[in-house]
Structure 1
Amino acid sequence: MNQQQPWSAETMAVVAGRPPRRAGAPVSPVVELSSTYVSAEPFGSFDDGVYGRMNNACWRDLEAAVGALEGGAALCFASGMAAGSALFALVEPGSRVVMADACYGAMLSLGQQLAAAGRFSLTLVDVSNTDAVLASLDGADWLFIESPTNPLMQVADLPALTAAAGGLGVRVVVDNTFATPLLQNPLALGAAVVLHSGTKYLAGHSDVVLGLLVTADHELELRLRAHRGLHGGILGPMEAWLALRGLRTLAVRIERQQASAGVLARRLSEHPAVSLVRYPGLPGDPGHGRAKTQMRGFGGMLSIELAGGRAAADALVAGVRLWVPGTSLGGVESLIERRRRIPAEPEAVPENLVRLSVGLEAVADLWADLQQALGSVTQLSTSAG
């Protein structure tokens, strides 16, 4: 395949990382189950195939595909947090890190833990407040952000932030899990590294745990590759194969999921039991203008806040029958969760916030299920009043 062919991202998700085209060759990559490889003399490099902790053909196929989608060199890890830990390992001791104050809770917890141990100093900011973020960059070394954020759905002004950070020598990391490379490419907007929890949309079937980092900076790529080999947070070949198989349907999944999310967001915004809908696809959402400018769609994630508070949020999750109460997102099944039930969730996340990951079910069925559960929530609030 000619990697320089100007195909669309939707096409690249299908064709990138395929075996060479020749008569009798498999169309799909095979699973290479080997820990050890035949030695070459003289020794070249670990990339040539020496030991399974350093390289594997299944990694290379997955990394080629994700790298093609994001516009850089991709490296896969055993989990999204293994990838996040590798990122924090890039931060030199004594540095200052600026980080989103409402982002994925485990990543924020790790940053706070490392800061408390004296590894670096940490400044937390609201990434939707561009002026506040810009003011925090003076004297910083790294900026770690999500956009849209998990679970508040805040949208950062990525071009403005990366431009200002670049002028100050600040490297920017963007978690692109919610948007996926089909809707947004942070490297093209000036980021140094992109993070994905590949468990979510990229693999897409709730059957594998993995993380990916993508960078166009060769020096950072080498440092991240060395960290992975030395610390051992590697992905198994079967997990890599499953993720690549899932990636092939990313475009059609995203198209269906975000179409349904838009319908549900509009209907939920009109329901009396819902006090706020957080979805950048709504014209009245604070992040709508930015998302419309820097993204190619609004995604399949949304969050709502219940007028009846925490009790109403819990009742909604308990009352659905089709939606699955669960801690993840991006799969073919629709998931629902009150996020503050998790101890590590940032305090900036309201107690009455419910996060919705829209799957591939018929939107009419998803809405009917929410509607009946919200009806019970309304009756509960009326009884309590």
Structure 2
Amino acid sequence: MADVNEQWSARTRAIVAGRPTGREQPMNVPIAPASMLGLAYAREDGTPTWAAFEEALGELEGGTATAFSSGIATASAVLDAHRVGATVVVPRDSYAGTRAYFGHEQETGRVKVVSVEPTDTGAWIEAAAGADLLWLESPTNPSLHVVDIRKICEAARRLPDRPTIVVDNTFATPLGQQPLSLGADIVVHSATKFIGGHSDLLLGVAVATDPSRVKALRDARTRIGATPGALEAFLALRGLRTLPVRFAEASRTAAMLARRLEEHPAVTRVRYPGSGAMVSFELADADRADKVCEALRLVRHATSLGGVESTVERRAARPGDAHVASGLLRLSIGLEDPEDLWVDLNRALCAVN
């Protein structure tokens, strides 16, 4: 694979990392639709397609990446390394799928779950004592709370029996923050979202620097069979190549829309962490929010996010997100013309004001 100069920008490294070199080599790593390579099953040793994607994402996050079949499969592999009865600390506002997974594991007696407010750093530090796993997410889904990752990591690492610290970096992406450099042990992504970027794949990934953690993640992937498909890995790598330019453009649009939404009389609150391609905003009630979703024509009413198309959803209507403000709309910004997006949003908002 290509040698990557550490002095190159993330934009350049996203293009170069994991790419074949040599005059006779293809420009891209081919899809490897193989169930076995030699005498080993692909789920044991991986494929060249996985390896290229893992090399490229690891380069951006500053660690060694391990790809999984989905984001939840990634969470399962992380938990696999911990004893039965482990205490897991999670933010109250976070991806509903992750909370549902840990909730199920608690119901079966696998773990004990402790929930804390995302922005209550003192509560995180207090909960870290006696915990086995801290599962941070920043910004959170869907309320876009920002967690003080560095301070929590510093405090947790001083504990004599310190917990494993995991950060879900799906919303920020490695372009917005690198949690490993802030003290985290493992960074996870739903590569289904911004990394893939085209709403056409399911994939998860975990990144770590400690070789023993990397081995544990890969051993868990093999045991539970949570392996990525060859086509999914190929598409995720292709999406990663354009992540820097996609994310930068979508972030510029998000900042502009956040400013305009703050001034709109139908909007009661705007949640925007100051960077990134996600904006959440609130209307007076659920009925008005639902009507906005129905009135939008360019912005798609859909549950996923991070693609080239803009999507919106009233998250309180989804299972597991009853804690979210009833009128909150989570808006994922794509690559449409910013003014076209604003015309669509403004028209829908004015219709319910």
* Structure 1 consecutive aligned stretches of length 4 or more whose deviation exceeds 6 Å: none
Per the alignment, do residues 312 and 33 of structure 1 end up closer, same or farther by CA in structure 2, a change over 3 Å counting? Answer: same
Match of 1:38 in 2: 38
Match of 1:163 in 2: 154
Give the unaligned 5+ runs of structure 2: none
Match of 2:10 in 1: 9
Match of 1:317 in 2: 293
2:54–2:64 Cα contact (<8 Å) kept = yes
For residues 269 and 136 of structure 1, the distance between their equivalents in structure 2, rounded to whole angstroms, comes to 35
Per the alignment, do residues 188 and 271 of structure 1 end up closer, same or farther by CA in structure 2, a change over 3 Å counting? Answer: same
- Cα distance, 1:5 vs. partner? 3.7
2:72–2:101 Cα contact (<8 Å) kept = no
Look up the SS of the partner of 1:187 in the other structure: helix
For residues 193 and 37 of structure 1, the distance between their equivalents in structure 2, rounded to whole angstroms, comes to 29
For residues 230 and 181 of structure 2, the distance between their equivalents in structure 1, rounded to whole angstroms, comes to 30
Match of 2:352 in 1: 377
Look up the SS of the partner of 2:36 in the other structure: coil
- Cα distance, 1:4 vs. partner? 4.8
Match of 1:234 among 227, 233, 236: 227
Please state if 1:207 is matched with 2:182.
no
Per the alignment, do residues 131 and 5 of structure 1 end up closer, same or farther by CA in structure 2, a change over 3 Å counting? Answer: closer
For residues 122 and 259 of structure 2, the distance between their equivalents in structure 1, rounded to whole angstroms, comes to 30
2:316–2:328 Cα contact (<8 Å) kept = yes
Match of 1:53 among 37, 43, 58: 43
For residues 87-236 of structure 1, the aligned pairs below 5 Å read 87-168=78-159, 169-236=162-229
For residues 22 and 131 of structure 2, the distance between their equivalents in structure 1, rounded to whole angstroms, comes to 51
Match of 2:334 in 1: 359
Give the unaligned 5+ runs of structure 1: 40-49, 282-297, 379-385
2:53–2:233 Cα contact (<8 Å) kept = yes
Match of 1:287 in 2: none
Deviations 1:57-106 (A, max 9, x none): 10000000011111111011111111111112222112211111110001
Deviations 1:241-279 (A, max 9, x none): 011011110011011100000000000011111100000
With structure 1 as the length reference, what TM-score do the two structures score? Answer: 0.89
One-letter identity of the residue aligned with 1:36 = M
With structure 2 as the length reference, what TM-score do the two structures score? Answer: 0.97
| Cα-Cα RMSD | 1.1
- Cα distance, 1:139 vs. partner? 1.3
Bigger radius of gyration, 1 or 2? Answer: 1
Report percent identity of matched pairs: 44
Match of 2:281 among 294, 300, 304: 304
- Cα distance, 1:6 vs. partner? 2.0
One-letter identity of the residue aligned with 1:9 = A
Match of 2:19 in 1: 18
